[in-house]
Copies of this chain bind each other. A is one copy, B any other.
Amino acid sequence: MTARPENVHQARILRLLRQEGPRSRAELGDVVRLSRSKLALEFDRLSALGLVEQAGLAASRGGRRSGVVRIASHLRFVGIDVGATSIDVAITNGELQVLDHLSEPADVRAGPTAVLNQALKLLGDLRSRETAAEIHGVGIGLPGPVSFREGVPVSPPIMPGWDRFPVREVMSEELGCPVLVDNDVNTMALGELHAGLARSVGDFLLVKIGTGIGCGIVVDGEIYRGVSGSAGDIGHIRAGEHGPTCACGNTGCLEAYFGGAALARDATIAARSRRSIFLSERLAEKESLTAEDVGAAAASGDADAVRMIRDGGRRVGEVLAGLVSFFNPGLVIIGGGLAGLGHALLAEIRGVVYQRSLPLATGNLPIVVSELGGTAGVIGAAGLISDHLLSASP
């Protein structure tokens, strides 16, 4: 068990070093606004706690050269990103830089014991490759609703057997270190905040378009979870008046129009009706079609596939336009497996949002595709536990 900072000044220094990398004491003093002697005292304590270390001398600012400090180089955080069909595990240093990363196909429907054992095995492989055997904390993202406070999934629709399974408790006992569990859109949003396009943005939305559709909400640099932890669950917002029936029982839900599952369904219909020759041939080769096949069809110029992506982008854009008017974010990032479907999707989303939302809300609003791709989830999960461990202990 590693020590945690003892007060808010120490926590502030650690977060700065995590975000900005090594800094001279003089530079940190300018930001933290402590007297020279108080700052020296806090550094001594952090050093004694094993949380910071010396890293040489800075260039002179005119007087004596100031010592450079950095977050302790032995710190290790782990991010685990459980997807519907894959597991990613990464080890980061204290600055949340990924040191090593493994990814494997997995089936979340196999239940928590099988899936968490697979994650533990991947983590074991990573640790055997890494010199530092000790890990200081683990963050886990799951593809369904999570009670963050309790560290358990709550009625997750695509995760049979996981309902209220004590993921945090089991993993913490297994690994002997602190563990936090969250919904994967929240960990992806944290990944963007720590290492992605949102590094300098306080209020932003991360829209994940994968098998389903969800949204991570960041207010003033913190994940906003809502009163019962379900904030950002936008997949069941109505996106049309006479839409397809959704698994939730309602009609016209955004997810019933678009997302990996909806696109696979529409692709199969287009293939069977032979409306799309490309998709018909693909279906003849394989047992079933996925969103990737639609992407490949669109890339080959298949008109039906392009139409599916544009229609989907328009629905996402219409829901997002309302959320932009309501929330007035500084940035919207599109992530998840379908974010890679190409420019047509992004162009359609942008077109609708810029046309439908208020000018005051869209004037300086970038809508972009994540540059982190598959690593947003693991970096964010590591960020989640590091946020906890680098905050002042109560």
Residues on A facing B (Cβ under 8 Å)? 145, 154-155, 202-203, 215, 217, 219, 224-234, 236-238, 240-241, 248, 250, 318-319, 321-323, 325-330, 355-358, 360-361, 363-364
Assembly CA distance A203 to B219 (angstroms): 13
Picked from B154, B226, B358, B361, the residue with its CB within 8 Å of the CB of A361 is: B226
Assembly CA distance A232 to B225 (angstroms): 18
Assembly CA distance A154 to B241 (angstroms): 34
Picked from B236, B321, B330, the residue with its CB within 8 Å of the CB of A238 is: B321
**Number of this chain's copies in the complex:** 2
Q: What is the chain B residue whose CB lies nearest that of A147?
A: B360
Assembly CA distance A376 to B219 (angstroms): 26
Given A230-B361, A361-B228, A361-B230, check contact A250 B356 (CB 8 Å).
Answer: yes
Given A219-B219, A360-B155, A361-B226, check contact A327 B240 (CB 8 Å).
Answer: no
A247 CB to closest chain B CB, in angstroms? 13
Q: Of A232, A322, A329, A355, which is in contact with the most chain B CB atoms at under 10 Å from its CB?
A: A322
Report chain B residues within 8 Å CB of A155: 360
Given A240-B241, A328-B225, check contact A233 B322 (CB 8 Å).
Answer: no
Assembly CA distance A247 to B318 (angstroms): 19
A148 CB to closest chain B CB, in angstroms? 12
**CB <8 Å contact, B233 and A325:** yes
Report chain B residues within 8 Å CB of A319: 322
Report chain B residues within 8 Å CB of A358: 230, 233, 236, 248
**CB <8 Å contact, A233 and B360:** yes
A392 CB to closest chain B CB, in angstroms? 15
Report chain B residues within 8 Å CB of A248: 358
Assembly CA distance A275 to B145 (angstroms): 49
A187 CB to closest chain B CB, in angstroms? 18
**CB <8 Å contact, B363 and A228:** yes
| New contact pairs (16) apart from A231-B327, A236-B325, A323-B326, CB-CB < 8 Å | A202-B227, A219-B224, A225-B328, A227-B364, A229-B328, A230-B358, A230-B360, A230-B361, A231-B328, A232-B328, A234-B322, A234-B326, A237-B321, A238-B356, A322-B322, A326-B326
A216 CB to closest chain B CB, in angstroms? 11
Report chain B residues within 8 Å CB of A327: 217, 226, 231, 326
Report chain B residues within 8 Å CB of A326: 215, 217, 231-234, 237, 323, 326-327
Picked from B202, B215, B318, B325, the residue with its CB within 8 Å of the CB of A234 is: B325
Q: Of A215, A241, A319, A325, which is in contact with the most chain B CB atoms at under 10 Å from its CB?
A: A325
Report chain B residues within 8 Å CB of A203: 226-227
**CB <8 Å contact, A360 and B228:** yes
Given A241-B241, A360-B155, check contact A227 B322 (CB 8 Å).
Answer: no
Q: What is the chain B residue whose CB lies nearest that of A237?
A: B322
Report chain B residues within 8 Å CB of A328: 225-233
Report chain B residues within 8 Å CB of A240: 241
Report chain B residues within 8 Å CB of A238: 318, 321-322, 356
Assembly CA distance A318 to B177 (angstroms): 45
Report chain B residues within 8 Å CB of A356: 236, 238, 250
